[in-house]
Structure 1
Amino acid sequence: MIDTGTTIPAPIPATARQNRLPVKALLGLFLAGFISILTECLPAGLLAEMSHTLGTSVSLTGQTVTLYALATALGAIPLARATATWRRKHVLQLALAVVVVSNALTALSSDYTLTMVFRFVAGLGTGLIWPLLGGYAARLAPEGRQGRAIAIALAGTPIGLALGIPLGTLLSSLGGWQLAFYASAAVTALTMAWVLVAVPNLPGEPAETRFRLSQVLAIPGLWPILFALATYMIAHNLLYTYITDLLSHLGMSGQTGWVLFTFGVTSVLSVLVVGAHIDRHLRTLVVASTVVFGASVLILGMVSGEPILVYVAVAAWGFAFGSSPSLFVGAAINATQEAADVAQSITITVFSASIAAGSLLGGLLIAGLGTASITWAALFLLIAAAATVISGKKHAFPTNS
C-alpha cells in the first residue's frame, strides 16, 4: 500500500468524483502489477529446464530472479524521477512494452549472458511500473476510498507471487519453459490493450512542484515505514524462496504444491478482507499483519512432523502477507502526501532490494547453519518490524489511521 483525509497530489478526474471505484481502470493497474511479479517469479518453477537450455547450473540460472529484483531496485528511483512529468498512462505503456519484448527475447535465447541482459531490462520495466500503481490508483478513486483502490491495484503482487511458480511449471509441462515466457509476453500485450482502453491518462507531476529525494527522506515517519517494510519483506523471502527446503526439513517434502496453494488462497482472501477496511483501520491492519506473520513463523520454527500445524501456519502467513504491499505503500502515501510519487519509488526500491536480500541471506544461512536457521532469522526480523510499527504512533502508522 489511509484515512479519509489523505491528500492526493493531483486533481481527481471527473469519472472518480462519484462515490464508486473505477473498477475497469483499477483492473488495468492490477494486471500491470500481476504481470510484473509473475515475470519476476516465472523462472523459479523452470530452473531445471532453463539451466539445461542455457548450459549452466540450476543455482546460476536462479540468479535470473535475483538480477530481475536488483534491476527493479536500482531502476525505480531514477526512472520514476526521469518520467515524473510524463502522462501516467504513457509511462505505464512504455514499461509494459519493455516487459513484452524482454519476455519474448528471453524465450528465444539459449545464451546465459543474453538471458541475464533480457532479465535485467525486464526488471527495469518493472522499476517503472511498481512506483506508479499506488499513486495512480489513489488519484483515480473518490475521496475516502483511496485505500481500497490501492489495495485493488496492488493485489496483483500477492496473487502473482502465489501463482507465478505453479503457472510456470504447468506451462512448462505443456510446451517447455519457453512457452511460459511467450505466454507472459502475450498476457502483457493484452494488458497493454486493456490499459489503452480503460485507464484514464492522468497528467504527471509539474516540474516546479517536484520534490528532491533528500526532502522526501526527511519527512517524519518515512524511515520507520521503510525499515518495517524491509524487515518484513526480507523475512518473507527468507522463507518463501526456500519453501521447498523448509518443507523437507519439516518432513513434508511431497506437499510443496498444496502448501503453496494454501498460501495463495489465504493471500487472495487477505486482499478481499483488508481492501474493505484499509481506509479506516490502516494502523490496526499493519500491526495485525506483522504480529500474525511472526506467530506463524514461530509455529514453523517449533513444529516438525505435524502437517496440520504447518498448514495452519502457512495459511496465517499467506493471510498476513497478502495485502502487505497495499498496507506499506498506503502508509508511505499517507505519511508523505504531496510527495507521494517520490516516496513510492523509494518504497519500491526497498521492496525489491528486500526480495534480493532475502534470497541471498536465506542461501547463506542454509549453507552455514542449516535450514532451521531461516525460521529463527525471519522471526527476529518480524519482531523488529512489529516493534517499529507499534511504536510508530505519531507519523509512520498514526493511531487515527
Structure 2
Amino acid sequence: MSDSAQAPSHDGTASGSTVPDDPPATSSMSDSGATAPRFPLPALIVMACTTFIGIVTETAPAGLLPQIARGLRVSDGSAGQLVSAYAVGAVLGAIPAVMLTRGARRKPLLCVGLLGFFLANTATALAPDLLVALLVRFVAGAFSGLLWGMLAGYAMRITAPERAGRALAIAMAGIPIALAAGTPLGTWLGTTLGWRWAFAGSSLFTAVVLVSALILVPDAPGQHAHTRIPLVKVLRIPGLATILAVVFVWLLAHNLLYTYIAPYLQQEHLDLKPDLALVIFGVAAIAGVWITGILVDRMLRRLTLASVGLFILAGVILLAAEQSTPLAILAILLWGLAFGGSATQLQSAAGAATGEHADAAISMVTTAFNLAIFTAGAVGAVIVDGVGAKALPAVMTVLAVSALIAVGLGRRAAFRPGR
C-alpha cells in the first residue's frame, strides 16, 4: 500500500472510510493528467522468488534430517533443531529488524536480506558441526524476519493502490510454489547429491535473484521520521489485534495438521503418501493464490470469510473420511485452495487497517505466524502422542470456527468490505 493510500490520524491510527465491495473502476489517469504507474510485474516476480527462497530455506532441513544427522554425526532430533533455530531467529528478529529499518529505503534493504540468505545458506552448506549450523540458521531466521516484515509493504508501495492486493498476491505466490515444488526439489537434490548441495543450490538461486533485484526492482522510500509511532501504538490501531488473533488461530489450525500429516495418514490407514499429499496441497494452494489475486482488491472481507469457511469444510470432510482416500484427497484439495491465499488476505487486512504503519504491523503478523508454528509443534505432539493423530481434524475445525467468528466480528476495522 502506498504511503498516500491511508493518511494517519493525529493519534497514529489509520483513517479512511469504508470501501464498497465492488467499487467503480478507477481511471488510468490521475487528476493531473499523468498516466498511472505501470503494474510492476517483473519486480513482483523477483519478490515472489524471494518468498520462495524464504520458505525453501526454512523447510529444507525437514526433508533431509537423516542425511544431516549422519553428516554432522548427531541424532535426528538434534538435527531437527535446525528448523527450530530458524524459527527462533524469525520470531526474535522480525519486529526489531523492521522497527530499526523503518526509515531505510526499501531496495537496499531487500538486497541486504537476499545477501543474508545467500551467506547463511552457503555457511550452512559448509558448516563443520551442529553448533555452527545452529548459529547460522538462527541468523538466517533473523534475515527471514526482516524480509517477511517489509516485503508486503514494499510490494504494495510500488503499485497503484487499487491494485495493491493483486501485487501482494503475486509477491506471496512464492510460498505455495515453494511448498509444492521447491521443498520436494531440495529434498531430491539433497538425497541424490548430499544434503550440503541442497543449501548450496539455494545459495546459487539466491545469487540470481539478488542480481535480478538490483536490475528489475524499483526503489521506494521508507517511512518518514515524523510519521513513525512506537510499536505499542501500532498495536493499538483499531483492528490490528483482531487480525493478529486470526493469524495465530488460523495458522495454528493449519500447522497442526500440516506438521503431523504423516502420522495422520498412517493412523487413518489412508492409501496416500505424505509427500504426495503435500504436493496436492501445494498445487491447490497455488490456485488459491490466483483466486485471491483476482478478488482481494474488491472483496477482502468476503474472500477471507469464504476462505476460512472452506477451510472448515475441509476439516469436516477429513473427520468424515474414515479410511476413504478419495474423501481425504478432496479435503486436502479444499484445504490447499482455502489456505493458499491466506498470507495475502491477512497481510492485506493488516496493511489496510494500519496504513503507512503497515511494515511494523506486518512484522507482528510474521511473529504471530512463527509463534503459531511453534505452538502447533508442541500442541500437535501432545495430541498425537495422547489421543492420536485422528483428533487433529477436529481440533483444526474448532480453531478455524473461532477464526471465522473473529473475521465476522471484525467488520468495522479489521476485515472491512472492499480494499
TM-score by length of 2: 0.90
Distance change >3 Å, CA 400–CA 142, structure 1 → 2: closer
Residue 59 of structure 2 is matched in structure 1 by 41
Residue 264 of structure 1 is matched in structure 2 by 282
41-50 or 294-303, which deviates more: 294-303
Q: In the alignment, is the contact (CA less than 8 A) between 1:38 and 1:163 conserved in 2?
A: no
Residue 155 of structure 1 is matched in structure 2 by 173
Could you tell me how far apart the structure 2 residues matched to 1:272 and 1:298 are?
Answer: 25
176-185 or 242-251, which deviates more: 242-251
Quick check: 1:371 aligned with 2:389?
yes
- 1:86 is displaced (CA, Å) by 1.2
Unmatched 5+ stretches in structure 2: 9-29
- 1:27 is displaced (CA, Å) by 1.0
Unmatched 5+ stretches in structure 1: none
| RMSD over aligned Cα atoms | 2.0
Residue 390 of structure 1 is matched in structure 2 by 408
Q: In the alignment, is the contact (CA less than 8 A) between 2:179 and 2:279 conserved in 1?
A: no
- 1:180 is displaced (CA, Å) by 0.7
- 1:343 is displaced (CA, Å) by 0.8
Residue 234 of structure 1 is matched in structure 2 by 252
Q: 1:104-135 CA distances to partner (integer Å, 9 max, x unpaired)?
A: 11111241111111110100110110111111
Residue 186 of structure 2 is matched in structure 1 by 168
Distance change >3 Å, CA 88–CA 252, structure 1 → 2: same
Could you tell me how far apart the structure 2 residues matched to 1:107 and 1:176 are?
Answer: 10
- 1:197 is displaced (CA, Å) by 0.3
Could you tell me how far apart the structure 2 residues matched to 1:20 and 1:202 are?
Answer: 15
- 1:260 is displaced (CA, Å) by 1.6
Aligned-residue sequence identity (percent) comes to: 38
TM-score by length of 1: 0.94
134-143 or 327-336, which deviates more: 134-143
Residue 137 of structure 1 is matched in structure 2 by 155
Q: Secondary structure at the match of 2:162?
A: coil
- Correspondence list, 1:308-387, <5 A: 308-387=326-405
Residue 6 of structure 2 is matched in structure 1 by 7
Distance change >3 Å, CA 383–CA 280, structure 1 → 2: same
Quick check: 1:307 aligned with 2:325?
yes
Residue 97 of structure 1 is matched in structure 2 by 115
**Residue type matched to 2:187 in 1?**
T
Could you tell me how far apart the structure 1 residues matched to 2:288 and 2:105 are?
Answer: 32
Could you tell me how far apart the structure 2 residues matched to 1:359 and 1:147 are?
Answer: 31
Q: 1:270-301 CA distances to partner (integer Å, 9 max, x unpaired)?
A: 11111011100100111111111111112212
Could you tell me how far apart the structure 2 residues matched to 1:246 and 1:154 are?
Answer: 28
**Alignment partner for residue 102 of structure 2, among 84, 88, 105?**
84
Could you tell me how far apart the structure 2 residues matched to 1:396 and 1:123 are?
Answer: 28
Q: 1:374-400 CA distances to partner (integer Å, 9 max, x unpaired)?
A: 222222211111110112111111234
254-263 or 318-327, which deviates more: 254-263
Distance change >3 Å, CA 8–CA 310, structure 1 → 2: farther
Aligned residues: 394
Q: In the alignment, is the contact (CA less than 8 A) between 1:17 and 1:142 conserved in 2?
A: no
Quick check: 1:276 aligned with 2:275?
no
Q: Secondary structure at the match of 1:62?
A: helix
Quick check: 1:252 aligned with 2:251?
no
- 1:70 is displaced (CA, Å) by 2.0
Q: In the alignment, is the contact (CA less than 8 A) between 1:259 and 1:314 conserved in 2?
A: yes
Could you tell me how far apart the structure 2 residues matched to 1:80 and 1:177 are?
Answer: 32
Could you tell me how far apart the structure 2 residues matched to 1:171 and 1:362 are?
Answer: 29
**Alignment partner for residue 181 of structure 1, among 189, 199, 204?**
199
Could you tell me how far apart the structure 2 residues matched to 1:114 and 1:254 are?
Answer: 37
**Alignment partner for residue 191 of structure 1, among 170, 189, 209?**
209
Q: In the alignment, is the contact (CA less than 8 A) between 1:8 and 1:138 conserved in 2?
A: no
Could you tell me how far apart the structure 1 residues matched to 2:7 and 2:300 are?
Answer: 17
Q: Which one has a bigger Cα radius of gyration? A: 2
Distance change >3 Å, CA 76–CA 8, structure 1 → 2: farther
Could you tell me how far apart the structure 1 residues matched to 2:418 and 2:277 are?
Answer: 37
Quick check: 1:71 aligned with 2:89?
yes
**Residue type matched to 1:7 in 2?**
Q
Could you tell me how far apart the structure 2 residues matched to 1:118 and 1:345 are?
Answer: 21
Distance change >3 Å, CA 8–CA 18, structure 1 → 2: farther
Q: Secondary structure at the match of 2:86?
A: helix
Q: In the alignment, is the contact (CA less than 8 A) between 2:121 and 2:202 conserved in 1?
A: yes
